[in-house]
Amino acid sequence: MNKQVDIQDLGFRDYGETWDYQEQLFREILDIKMKNRRENAGLETPNYLLFVEHPHVYTLGKSGDMAHMLLNEKQLEARGAAFYKINRGGDITYHGPGQIVGYPILDLDNFFTDIHKYLRFLEEVIILTLADYGISAMRSEGETGVWIDTGTPFARKICAMGVRASRWVTMHGFALNVNADLGYFDHIIPCGIRGKAVTSLNVELGRETVDMEEVRQRIRTHFLRLFEAKGTGAEKVLP
């Protein structure tokens, strides 16, 4: 089993371009697995963790409800936002500046073959990262992602998650609000969940901004420890 994870910082990059890159890596891993199966090639499959920050964009998962998108095409254009229907699980969410998006593209045969456990591990990475800042975050039963003050009238989501997996190879991932413009969430019903707020790390800490690179490094540390993996890379990947 290959426990090495190639960590890449894609910088500030268009959603569609990043999705294409994810698909490329995802397909390459699947091709290796098929070759191993057909030819008993014994080739190692690589693993990746992509960090990226996107321009304003809304994405709707394959099980999502279009009614949860509250803007029409002209209104999206006026706000400088794009829209994509994509092949992950989950409903609608927003990505934009000030948000750390992580796309683990892993062959879970290298770790464990349990999607439920995989999602819980991703949540735990974020929970531990927020704990580093004194934030007590938690899960919300039946709702994937990471929340604050679950079970109270003040429950608010700080990290959304949605993944796709085929033959135990994953793509898509998590989006942690660090210095996000929360006004963009007003134009959707986030993750299809009505009546619950969305928050950002800088808001919770009462700061104007939080150091994004520091947060990325903390996520990296917790991710590698939980998955018992070794990280390589983390250099910015130029367009």
Per-residue pLDDT tens listing for the chain (239 residues): 899 999 999 999 999 999 999 999 999 999 999 999 999 999 999 999 999 999 999 998 887 778 888 888 888 888 889 998 888 877 888 999 999 999 999 999 999 999 999 999 999 999 999 999 999 999 988 888 999 999 898 999 999 999 999 999 999 999 999 999 998 888 877 655 555 789 999 999 999 999 999 999 999 999 999 999 999 876 555 55
In 74-142, the DSSP E strands lie at 82-85, 92-95, 99-105, 137-140
* Catalytic residue annotation: 191
Domains present along the chain, CATH in parentheses: 4-236 (3.30.930.10)
Q: Contact at 8 Å (CB) between 198 and 177? A: yes
pLDDT at 235: 56
With CA atoms as reference, report the closest residue to 121 among 149, 88, 161, 70.
161
Instruction: Note the maximum CA span of the chain.
Output: 57
* CB-CB neighbours of 128 under 10 Å: 17
Tokens for 237, please give them.
């990947």
pTM: 0.92
Helix (H) or strand (E) holding 32: helix 15-39
Alpha helices in 108-211, H assignment, sequence order: 115-131, 201-205
Q: Is 169 helix (H, G, I), strand (E, B) or coil?
A: strand
The residue with tokens 């409800």 is: 65
pLDDT at 121: 98
Instruction: Identify any residues that bridge with 85 across adjacent strands, giving them in sequence order.
Output: 60
